[in-house]
Chains A and B, each alone.
Chain A
Amino acid sequence: MTTKSPNYCHPERSRFSGGAKDLLRVLTLIIVALLPLRGSAQDMPLFRWENFTTANGLPNNHVFCVLVDGQRIWAGTENGLGLYENGAWKVFRPDADQKLQSLAHQAVLSLALDKRTGDVWAGTMGGLSRLSAGRIDTFTQLTSGLSNDIVYGVGVQGDFVWTATAAGASRLNTRTGQWSLFNNRNTPMYEIWTYSVSPAEDKVYYAVWGGGVLEYDQKTERWKNYDDPDGETEMVVMKDQGLIHEITTSVSYVDKMLWVATYFGASRYDGRYWHNFLTKDSGLPSNFLNQVKAIDANRAWFSTDKGLAYYDGANWAVYRPALDTHKPEMLVRDAAGTVKKIPVQSAPAHNYILGVDFQGDDIWVATAKGLSHGIRQKSPVETAQVLTTHKATKKK
């Protein structure tokens, strides 16, 4: 390739002297430095994955949820609650002789941590259980004010424990023992199948399966609903005009940004503007989302039926066993829509992802075929090293 004279290619440049060129370079650098700090596609997190199954002591391979509590990892599965600590699994299951002093049900759908007390709350198919320093207390719809035994979601906010159940929302005041119920009778909820709850700061958000999103304002004690402006259709006529779809599965409210996962895409709402994400215009591997979990206002993780996706505000990364070959796969899509495959040696246990939680820079992932621990490879240099190693390996 020949290099043409800069003066020939760019007649305008002939007007700039050497000093001006330096100034131009400096100004360019400054402008680039002042641009919003959005990572480049090459900076997407890289993980080495360790996967746990029943062969390692996990109670069941179908993992609904995962909760990180320091060095302890809780996994809610279809057949028991697992606690991974000091390299070993301990399993909790119901005891028929101690119904209210053992796990409510073997299918554990949701988990939440009370960071102040260290208590863990488990939402199950048969009630709500609190695990506190080895003691389990269970609440059911027959023995307490819990609205329904199918507890899809649970969240802790101060002295309150919020639950999302198949028959509306309930809130337990742990100081007074009072239960408050929220459903179609006292909120804008028209569907009472609540699927997920995200309490944070002064708001509580509910994902209502088939009923959009509900917001509870702690200060005013009022409810507000957010619905798909397209109604209950799968068409997106009014993109970015509101919630992407009514069938919501998960909400995550962090840094005053609401993220919503649905079966038909994802939404983000900053209190004024909506932004929707679909496979056709984002790096989402699928529009079928089981969970969204935000890190901050810009970054979030999406659990889909076709892989785990990460969004840093501009770029996307997808981690999964490849859909065709089942070999470890990492895809990176930049802001311009260019997709690259990053060579990796490992992947989450399965592409059907149900939930995640964070442990520092690491990530734990609940999948349909096991629990995965993503051990963060620290720097982009390592990414480059991996690429270099890959190229070298290919040459050989």
Chain B
Amino acid sequence: MPAQRTWRASFRRMAKVAAIFAVALLAVAAKPAARQSTAVSKERYLSPIEMVSSPDGRLLYVVCQDSDEVRVVDVPSGKVITRVAVGRMPRGIALSPDGRQLYITNAWSDTVSVIDTAPLQVVQTLPTGAEPSGVVSDADNTTLYVANRLSGDISVIDRKSGQETKRLLAGRGASYLAISPDGKWIYCTHIYPNAGPFRSQPNSEITVIDTARQTVIERKPLHNVAGVFHVALSADGRLGVAAQLRPKNLIPLAHVEHGWAFGDSLTLFGPDVSGTVQIPIDELDRYYALPWGVTIAPDKSKIFLTAAGSESVTVIDVPRLLKTVHTRRQQFVNDLSASADYVLARIPVGHNPRGVLLSPDGKRLYVANRLDDNLAVIDTNSDKVISTIDLGGPKNVDALRRGERLFYTAGFAFQGQFGCANCHLDATIDGLQWDLEPDGFGKDIVDNRSLESLAGTEPFKWNGGNPDMPTECGPRTEKFFFRSQSFNQQQLTDLVTFVYSLPYRPNRYRQPGGRLTEAQERGKAIFERSRTKNGKLIPEMNQCGYCHSGPKYTNQKQVDVGTGKLTDRSPVIDVPQLSNVAYSAPYLHDGSARTLEEIWTVYNPKDTHGVSNDLTKDELNDLIEYLKTL
């Protein structure tokens, strides 16, 4: 009997130990992924994004965004033969009409690098507006046109003097340019929608420039469009095509099927279609997210379009497309069955395919697989990838790169409709307000916010409901966004690592050395004040610097500052960080304030969001000048 008791006692002890061990295992498994520090060493990837070829097609000049260089590829051998360092975050490229010069826009240096193609050296650097993106040269190579994404305008640069002669007003997020074959017109597209009334349909435009007068002569309206990417013209100039998104941001994100979150589409324009026509490229049960790079075959037989979120290239039969357009006189962009009439093929390529380029003879299509550091080479006859050009980036795919791939892919969403980058275009914003959750139409409207420099700004979500990034991007994403599978633990960790690594973009309002202008100094004093102008003490919790404190200008608390709307379930909001607030209009948690001014002139009648009603107009202007520097 004593042996039996001993055995039972031992068993109970072992069971206890096992239970404790099991609980510990569960606890470890359930523990959220550790927050990754931004100080993670990372490989210096290349991230090829755009390219042009030499006139004879023997060389490819590839813009490598993350390595701040242009890599030159010898096409016959498929090898990189040289590298040319340019400015920070290069984004666009153009070749002069005589092929002797390359123009590279440096998005974070606000310059254009001029490369002489003979010695392959930078010979000149030209100033531009804020965040230059697309670039084209006029037919005479006397004038450069540069689309400036952050300043929403187009720099007109005289090549002889190297100076900007004027800025032309474009739309918000001016990014991509194309010149007509006869050199008479330049077309500009925009990644953000133009400003509009609160909770109204998004609208964008194609800005048309007359190169003879160097003025804007037309703005082609794009209704229900927000996010327009590359634009291309056919060789005969009769057909233009722009890649675009049609977001359904005014209704809850509950009806993902049938394309009711995002529509991937093209706008066609030019004499071949009379006016502008929008066409769908998705299918009823499959989407081709983030249509980005586009080009038209020289014989106008095909359109090639990258789907930057779906790792593929869509091939469109142009004659069939035009026949469909002319037959179906009514708008059909929401008819997802229509693409079957003209889509020829979907060619799988690499991660986050961006720019496309046809060889001069039209036989080869080069696709920049941005997150693979290579170029896919497609035979345009068979519509198949026949080779890959390795640009020589790191072979190791680290957590940041894995995370970036997850950020850009739509592969996790229901039927592949969208990924993080659909709303956070190039990891920024989309300029829209969203009705995200299925809590009723028009409830809890939220403004899309930038993702730069997020570490130390927890919690997340407009009301602070998500304590950390893994919660923000984890199962919640599956439930409320993707309506499909979500990330596994490793993927979530990688994604969070990437999101936290997104740096603070250059702020153009700051002076060199961090100095402030006189107006900004005055504004800073107002921001930091503790008393009203008549000497009355401002309660600490209503001082700007109380909530907007710390390096990211958030104390990470949730407060009610009187900006809640009747449509909000609660007026309590998470104090947002103010990093680069100048670039993230509209404002307030729901995007109801279209400008910084409106935060106080319209939405602070009772001085609950800081004391502002004693300020003169001059003083409010000064405060805003200061806020723009944050």
CB-CB under 8 A for A179 and B218, given A130-B169, A143-B597: no
Verify A118–B215 contact, CB threshold 8 A: yes
CB-CB under 8 A for A175 and B129, given A116-B166, A144-B595, A181-B617: yes
Stretch in A39-47, A92-100, A246-254, A291-299 touching the partner: A92-100
Chain A CB within 8 A of B515 CB:
no
Verify A143–B197 contact, CB threshold 8 A: no
Give Cα A79–Cα B327 distance, bound, in whole angstroms.
Answer: 44
Q: Smallest Cβ distance from B542 to chain A, in angstroms?
A: 22
Specify which chain B residues have a CB less than 8 angstroms from the CB of A116 in the assembled complex: 165-166, 215
Beta-carbon nearest neighbor of A175 in chain B = B167
Verify A143–B598 contact, CB threshold 8 A: yes
CB-CB under 8 A for A183 and B219, given A143-B595, A145-B597, A174-B167: no
Complex partner residue of B218 from A134, A144, A180, A186, CB under 8 angstroms: A134
Chain B CB within 8 A of A54 CB:
no
Give Cα A101–Cα B195 distance, bound, in whole angstroms.
Answer: 8
Complex partner residue of A135 from B219, B617, B624, CB under 8 angstroms: B219
Complex partner residue of A97 from B165, B197, B617, CB under 8 angstroms: B197
Verify A142–B197 contact, CB threshold 8 A: no
Chain A CB within 8 A of B373 CB:
no
Verify A100–B594 contact, CB threshold 8 A: yes
Q: Smallest Cβ distance from A141 to chain B, in angstroms?
A: 7
Specify which chain A residues have a CB less than 8 angstroms from the CB of B208 in the assembled complex: 133
Specify which chain A residues have a CB less than 8 angstroms from the CB of B1 in the assembled complex: none
Give Cα A178–Cα B511 distance, bound, in whole angstroms.
Answer: 14
Specify which chain B residues have a CB less than 8 angstroms from the CB of A85 in the assembled complex: none
Verify A134–B598 contact, CB threshold 8 A: no
Q: Smallest Cβ distance from A32 to chain B, in angstroms?
A: 45
Contact string against B for A residues 100-132, beta-carbon threshold 8 Å, 1 for contact and 0 otherwise: 110000000000000011110000000000101
For window 150-191 of chain A, which residues contact chain B by CB distance below 8 Å?
159, 167, 174-181, 183, 185-186
Give Cα A185–Cα B616 distance, bound, in whole angstroms.
Answer: 11
CB-CB under 8 A for A98 and B617, given A133-B218, A143-B598, A145-B624: no
Verify B169–A178 contact, CB threshold 8 A: no
Specify which chain A residues have a CB less than 8 angstroms from the CB of B219 in the assembled complex: 132-135
Beta-carbon nearest neighbor of A116 in chain B = B166
Verify B169–A143 contact, CB threshold 8 A: no
Give Cα A176–Cα B625 distance, bound, in whole angstroms.
Answer: 11
- For the complex, count residues of A whose C-beta is within 8 A of B: 35
Q: Smallest Cβ distance from B580 to chain A, in angstroms?
A: 14
Chain A CB within 8 A of B394 CB:
no
Verify B617–A147 contact, CB threshold 8 A: yes
Q: Smallest Cβ distance from B201 to chain A, in angstroms?
A: 11
Verify B597–A144 contact, CB threshold 8 A: yes
Specify which chain A residues have a CB less than 8 angstroms from the CB of B195 in the assembled complex: 100-101, 137
Q: Smallest Cβ distance from A229 to chain B, in angstroms?
A: 31
Q: Smallest Cβ distance from A221 to chain B, in angstroms?
A: 11
Verify B197–A145 contact, CB threshold 8 A: no
* Chain A-chain B contacts (Cβ-Cβ < 8 Å), number: 87
Complex partner residue of B217 from A133, A175, A180, CB under 8 angstroms: A133
Beta-carbon nearest neighbor of A174 in chain B = B167
Q: Smallest Cβ distance from B1 to chain A, in angstroms?
A: 90
For window 119-170 of chain B, which residues contact chain A by CB distance below 8 Å?
129, 151, 153, 165-169
Most chain A CB within a 10 A radius of its CB, from B208, B216, B602: B216
Most chain A CB within a 10 A radius of its CB, from B151, B165, B213, B617: B617
Verify B618–A175 contact, CB threshold 8 A: no
Beta-carbon nearest neighbor of B508 in chain A = A176
Verify B129–A132 contact, CB threshold 8 A: no
Give Cα A175–Cα B625 distance, bound, in whole angstroms.
Answer: 14
CB-CB under 8 A for A117 and B168, given A101-B196, A142-B601: yes
Q: Smallest Cβ distance from A8 to chain B, in angstroms?
A: 71
Complex partner residue of B216 from A97, A133, A186, CB under 8 angstroms: A133
Specify which chain A residues have a CB less than 8 angstroms from the CB of B167 in the assembled complex: 117, 159, 174-175
Give Cα A180–Cα B616 distance, bound, in whole angstroms.
Answer: 13
Complex partner residue of A132 from B169, B509, B602, B618, CB under 8 angstroms: B169
Chain A CB within 8 A of B491 CB:
no
Specify which chain A residues have a CB less than 8 angstroms from the CB of B69 in the assembled complex: none
Give Cα A175–Cα B217 distance, bound, in whole angstroms.
Answer: 20
Verify A118–B617 contact, CB threshold 8 A: no
Complex partner residue of B205 from A135, A177, A183, CB under 8 angstroms: A135
CB-CB under 8 A for A99 and B617, given A118-B215, A143-B595, A143-B598: no
Chain A CB within 8 A of B211 CB:
no
Verify A142–B602 contact, CB threshold 8 A: yes
Beta-carbon nearest neighbor of A133 in chain B = B216
Specify which chain B residues have a CB less than 8 angstroms from the CB of A183 in the assembled complex: 618
Q: Smallest Cβ distance from A116 to chain B, in angstroms?
A: 4
Give Cα A183–Cα B621 distance, bound, in whole angstroms.
Answer: 14
Give Cα A115–Cα B567 distance, bound, in whole angstroms.
Answer: 46
Beta-carbon nearest neighbor of B217 in chain A = A133
Give Cα A327–Cα B213 distance, bound, in whole angstroms.
Answer: 44
Give Cα A339–Cα B207 distance, bound, in whole angstroms.
Answer: 56
Specify which chain A residues have a CB less than 8 angstroms from the CB of B509 in the assembled complex: 176
Complex partner residue of A185 from B129, B508, B598, B618, CB under 8 angstroms: B618
Verify A181–B618 contact, CB threshold 8 A: yes
Q: Smallest Cβ distance from A189 to chain B, in angstroms?
A: 13
Q: Smallest Cβ distance from B318 to chain A, in angstroms?
A: 29
Give Cα A183–Cα B508 distance, bound, in whole angstroms.
Answer: 27
Verify B215–A143 contact, CB threshold 8 A: no
Specify which chain B residues have a CB less than 8 angstroms from the CB of A186 in the assembled complex: 618
Give Cα A181–Cα B522 distance, bound, in whole angstroms.
Answer: 14
Verify B216–A117 contact, CB threshold 8 A: yes
Complex partner residue of A117 from B166, B595, B597, CB under 8 angstroms: B166
Beta-carbon nearest neighbor of A114 in chain B = B166
Specify which chain A residues have a CB less than 8 angstroms from the CB of B621 in the assembled complex: 145, 179-181
Give Cα A133–Cα B219 distance, bound, in whole angstroms.
Answer: 6
Specify which chain B residues have a CB less than 8 angstroms from the CB of A117 in the assembled complex: 166-169, 215-216
Complex partner residue of A118 from B196, B216, B624, CB under 8 angstroms: B216
Verify B205–A141 contact, CB threshold 8 A: no
CB-CB under 8 A for A119 and B617, given A99-B197, A101-B196, A178-B625: no
A sample of 14 inter-chain contacts (CB < 8 A) reads A99-B197, A100-B594, A101-B197, A116-B166, A116-B215, A117-B166, A117-B167, A118-B216, A132-B169, A142-B597, A142-B601, A143-B595, A176-B508, A176-B509
Known: A133-B218, A180-B621. 7 other contacts (CB 8 A): A101-B194, A101-B196, A133-B208, A135-B205, A143-B597, A145-B624, A174-B167
Please list the residues of chain A having a beta carbon within 8 angstroms of any beta carbon in chain B: 97-101, 116-119, 130, 132-135, 137, 141-145, 147-148, 159, 167, 174-181, 183, 185-186
Question: What are the nearest 7 A-B pairs in CB distance?
Answer: A142-B601, A118-B215, A133-B216, A116-B166, A145-B621, A181-B618, A132-B169
